[in-house]
Amino acid sequence: MNPRMSNEHFQVAIIGSGIIGSVLALGLIRRKVSVQVYEQAQSLREIGAGIAFTANARKCLTLLDARLDDCVTAVGTVNGDPACPNNNMQFIDGYTHDALKHVSPGDDLVEKTLYKLHAGPRGFEGCHRAHFLDQVMKLIPDGVVHLSKRLDSYELPEEDSGENKIRLVFCDGTTAEADVVIGCDGIKSRVRELVYGKDNPISYPHYTHKIAYRGLVPMDQAIARLGESRARNQQMYGGPNAHVLHFPVAGQQLMNVVAFVTDPNDWPLDRNMTQPATKDDVAGAFAEWGPTVRIIIDLLSPAMDKWAVFDAFDHPAPSYAAGSVCIAGDAAHASAPHHGAGAGIGVEDALALSVLLDRVRSEIEARSAEKATAIPAALKAFSTVRHERSQWLVRSSREVCETYEWNNPSCGSDMSKGYEDVKQRSHKIWYFDIDGMLADLDEEYQKCLME
């Protein structure tokens, strides 16, 4: 193979234009890495509801492309009084009460400790996933994102064939070529399935036996029933085998409510993860809870959605890289939402990949490295550096749910012990050493080049 020909037209293909695929694309574009994004949907959309980026995740967004932080600001909703935002995550016992004593909503919480965990400036500023993605897509140049491109397969170049591109085959019969393929195609990732095989349990997410009931409540109705302070501030209510979270969204016009309950049944993967539900379905799970939580559930619409929580805990991917193909974000390490950090960890992935592929691009252009060695080395370095932290999140997201729901044997129903457990885990997410990660990537890349 002609070395000069092998280094021409360095091209990255991203499969999936959700949040991680899109911010990665912007990070690469900013670094002058040629990239194309292939999205299976006919229109751009993001599944899910609320999302919050910690201060640490926002720093990663800024390092990808400084305009991304503005995207968060444009659609974010401050927590609490807009004139004096509340940057705390808040936890309280929503279950314990005197069932024989009639009290008004809120009164059952008066003598209980409200545990507050400071998340940093603007550290708990929620937004809707779709609204954030809309802002991001405005920054991506025309011709980069291709819709209705569902990946069917990819074909690696044969040795000694003179070819050095990966051939992508889409379900509509069209094809494309790239030097690097990155699967950012979510929890049901086709790229992950192609890497690990159709009959391999690693290729698929698995049910956590938790269901999230989700609803949006008009803020005026929430204030009328709960009081202004409670309605406008994020709060988590813990109790046995379930927990409830609410926080303001849509410029504080709505209160987003998520109620998690345990489900002993199975949920087949081929069944849509989001299904219609009713308020009666969830009310029974909280019938014995305190009046405040019961009122929150009563505020929900008679018809709502329920979301089956899947993750990658049971069969984790041992590596995120396979030669010149890799997976990132939920495709690599889908976690349950109990830390609210899946997107933030995916943003860290995107920063790591953008920095590594920028280095590959510059070395290829300078003729100081060859694609055949530099690309696999970069992706292997990405996997090595990112694997431990991202897999920890998958595990900890399940474990912290047990703490919220009083099933952690070291905490039980002791909210003070539970708070310390949540604090330790949250700080590991929020105070991640980004510069240290970048240094580790550089060191690991050099090591992989020499292997």
395 is catalytic: no
| Polymer length in residues for the chain | 451
Among 122, 129, 190, 214, the active-site one is: 214
CA distance readout (Å), 35 to 11, 26, 357 = 6, 9, 11
The structure tokens listed for 324 are 């010149």
Q: Specify the amino acid at residue 248.
A: P
> What does the alpha-carbon distance between residue 29 and residue 291 come to, in Å, rounded to a whole number?
52
Burial class (CB in 10 A: 0-12, 13-18, 19+), 128: buried
Question: CA angle at residue 393 from 120 to 24, to 5 degrees?
Answer: 75
> What does the alpha-carbon distance between residue 3 and residue 120 come to, in Å, rounded to a whole number?
50
Contact 217, 247 (CB under 8 A): no
Q: Are strands 11-15 and 180-183 parallel, antiparallel or unpaired?
A: parallel
Q: Which amino acids are annotated catalytic?
A: 214
